[in-house]
Amino acid sequence: MNKFSLLLTLCIVAQLNGMSQLLIKNVTIADVENKKLLTGYDVTCSEGKIVSIEKHKPGKVIVANDTIDGTGKFLIPGLTDAHVHFFQSGGLFARPDAIDLRKHQPYADEIKWTHNNMEDFLRRYTATGITAVVDVGATYNILQQRDSFKNKEYAPLISMTGPLLTTYVPEPFKKLGADAPFLKMETAEGVRASVKEQIQHKADFIKIWYIVTDQDKEAGARKNLSLVKAAIDEAHANHLRVAVHATERITAQLAVEAGADFLVHNVDDEIVSDEFVQLLKRKKTVLCPTMVVADGYYRVFNNSYGFTAEELAISNPQQVASILDFYYTDSSISKALIKTTSAAKYEAFRKHSDSISLVNLMRLYKGGVCIATGTDAGNIGTHHAGSYFNELQAMQQAGFNGWDLLQASTINGAKAVGEEKEWGSIAKGKNANMILLDANPVDSITNWRKINSIINKGKVLKPGTILLHANDTPVQEQLNAYNAHNLEAFLEPYAEEVEVYSFPGKLMIKGKKEMREEYRFITKTAGLHCVLLNRIKEGNMIIDHEEIHVNGRKPFNGIAIYIVENGKITKVYFPE
């Protein structure tokens, strides 16, 4: 065949098939709805949608702008975190109602920071393979900001409520205007007006914070039931689903009976009955267990938060630093919280609550209730993107098998917000949000991290290209790892041939191999912690003024000068 004939043939094929933007050929597809691995299929995508799924036929020509050979690889739907909050950073200052540090950082500064860094959070989700997030409690300002990310290829799909309709508003969140995350429910008429207001702000669904402060839980729950029902009825009348925060059995039961579509937490005050399980199943209510969020608060306030290398790499480094600096931010508050959380009575309560949650989760899971994976990211110690695999591990340890965990993390998240016809599985006509893995996802959740490519809104992305790195990012990452006493994570931001000098020019260490040996002390030195006092950024030069703490020694100050090139630290100078 001559060149002209070949070109004519290709043009005819293109007209017959349509010019597909993307072809993933000869791949194994994870059919999460039917729990099957489909081997040897071609998946074509165009304009952000999956346009065909066909058995691979060697020799068949499919014209595409971009072709990926999926031989030996596995294609799964993009993951979903079905419970996040973008008004919260995940850091120490996220919830002044839980720990009031506003004299150290005004809450207005925290609000500003979360707005300025929402893009960073979104990039971290997508880079982790999370292509859909469900914000179950935002603010009107964040709802408005959501729309600016709609067509960004680095951003996951965002389903979002407005402010939480609540029976209780914590003092720090009052009088915040469009930055308020809570709206008080006082009258049925006022509740309906609040729902209509959220519709005007284009909320995707409605969220109720069903909080009972009465000593008699059932009496308190029933006292506010009419307000909860008014919100649900008004939302449903306007074709919006309703999510409800209800951690007591009675509030969860009453909410579901009133029509709640999505319970965003598990019940932790008593073991649920078979009737409760059947109620949720009959009503097709989705439940999100959020297993790690309470432990996140505990580990922060107990000063026992231990970051893995993966968490350090995925989470926002500034918020990681705030958690690691907990003890030094306000010593009087930190010492009091450490004492409280270390008490035997508190530990017994925590273990009792955790055990109830675990038993209930397995009763609901085995009873056929739809379970969706969600973290409650944004709360103190529950980091955006960085906490997702902690949640998966907790669900796996609870007893979820590979397929059910994959369902919970994909199609069930879509069901929570009524979007299962649009995304959550790999099917013709659905959004082209997928992950190409190098290993079988059903065998182990560790294989979910073996990402070859991320297909987001039909665009092929490589995990290492999604995040934006300022020159001080690797400097902060190595400082965090130093304080987390994680040697390998500490070395990661450094170039292979890094040089460490005694200022101005005496070479002390050359290369990571030498550095690993010289810095083993960070894993062994009791009480070792470096507090950043000041940072100067001048181009690719970062100068840190630090205060170093070690058990049994008086704190001492030091200066470190870092040179960053191509995202890695290449030189370090320590003035004598």
Enclosing domain of residue 27: 3-76+425-465
Whether 152 shows a pLDDT value over 60: the answer reads yes
Whether 421 shows a pLDDT value over 60: the answer reads yes
* CATH code of residue 505: 3.10.450.50
Domain check: are 48 and 184 in the same one? no
Q: What is the mean pLDDT of residues 309-328?
A: 95
Domain check: are 387 and 333 in the same one? yes
Q: How confident is the model at residue 60 (pLDDT cuts 50, 70, 90)?
A: confident
Whether 6 shows a pLDDT value over 60: the answer reads no
* CATH code of residue 63: 2.30.40.10
Q: How confident is the model at residue 20 (pLDDT cuts 50, 70, 90)?
A: low
Domain check: are 83 and 72 in the same one? no
Whether 14 shows a pLDDT value over 90: the answer reads no
What is the pLDDT, as a whole number, of residue 372?
Answer: 98
What total of structural domains would you count in the chain?
3
Q: Which tens digits make up the pLDDT trace of 495-533?
A: 999 999 998 889 999 999 999 999 999 999 999 999 999
Q: What is the mean pLDDT of residues 194-219?
A: 96
What is the pLDDT, as a whole number, of residue 452?
Answer: 98
Q: Which tens digits make up the pLDDT trace of 365-414?
A: 999 999 999 999 999 999 999 999 999 999 999 999 999 999 999 999 99
Q: Which tens digits make up the pLDDT trace of 438-472?
A: 999 999 999 999 999 999 999 999 999 999 989 99
Domain check: are 16 and 83 in the same one? no
Nearest to 253 by CA among 224, 288, 277: 277
Can you tell me whether residue 443 is helix, strand or coil? coil
**Count of CB atoms situated within 10 Å of the CB of 109:** 12
Q: Using CA atoms, how far apart are residues 31 and 130, in angstroms rounded to an integer?
A: 18
Q: Using CA atoms, how far apart are residues 567 and 470, in angstroms rounded to an integer?
A: 8
Whether 16 shows a pLDDT value over 70: the answer reads no
Whether 281 shows a pLDDT value over 60: the answer reads yes
Domain check: are 445 and 316 in the same one? no
Is 234 part of any domain?
no
Domain check: are 46 and 120 in the same one? no
Distances (CA, A) of 572 to 82, 234, 542, 569: 42, 61, 10, 8
Domain check: are 333 and 446 in the same one? no
Q: Is residue 410 a contact partner of residue 28, using CB atoms and an 8 Å limit?
A: no
Any idea what the Cα angle at residue 108 is, between residues 103 and 111, rounded to 5°?
125
Domain check: are 107 and 189 in the same one? yes
Q: Residue by residue, what is the 3-state secondary structure of 257-287?
A: HCCCCEECCCCCCCCCCHHHHHHHHHHCCEE
Q: What is the mean pLDDT of residues 273-288?
A: 98
What is the pLDDT, as a whole number, of residue 4?
Answer: 46
Domain check: are 437 and 480 in the same one? no
What is the pLDDT, as a whole number, of residue 2?
Answer: 53
Whether 416 shows a pLDDT value over 70: the answer reads yes
Whether 51 shows a pLDDT value over 90: the answer reads yes
What is the pLDDT, as a whole number, of residue 223?
Answer: 95
Domain check: are 115 and 152 in the same one? yes
Domain check: are 85 and 30 in the same one? no
Is 91 part of any domain?
yes
* pTM for this predicted structure: 0.94
Is 86 part of any domain?
yes
* CATH code of residue 134: 3.20.20.140
Q: Which tens digits make up the pLDDT trace of 61-115?
A: 888 899 999 999 999 999 999 999 999 999 999 999 999 999 999 999 999 999 9
Domain check: are 308 and 385 in the same one? yes
Is 143 part of any domain?
yes
Residue 130, H or E segment:
strand 130-135
Length of the chain: 576
DSSP symbols for 51-76 = EEEEE--TT----EEEEEE-TT-EEE
